[in-house]
Structure 1
Amino acid sequence: MSEDQNQHNILNSLVNDEKKIIRREVEKQRRMQMSILCSSLRSSLPFHLIKEKSSVSDNIGEAANYVQNLKEKVTELGKKRDKLKEIISSSMIETGNIELSADPSNLVKCVNINLIPDGVEIVICTGTEDRSSHLSGLMKIILQEGCDVVHCVTNQVNGNIFHTIRCEVEDMAHLDLTRLQTKLDHAILLSR
Structure 2
Amino acid sequence: MAEENQHKILVPSDNDEKKIIRREVEKQRRMQMSILYSSLRSSLPSDLIKGKRSVSDHIAAAANYVQFLKQKTNELETKRDSLKEMASSSMVEIGNELSSDPSRLVKCVKINIIQGGVEIVICSGFEDFSSRLSDLLKIILEEGCDVVHCVTNQVNGKIFHTIKSEVKDLTCLNLARLQNKLDHAIL
TM-score by length of 1: 0.47
Greater share of residues in helix: 2
Structure whose CA Rg is larger: 2
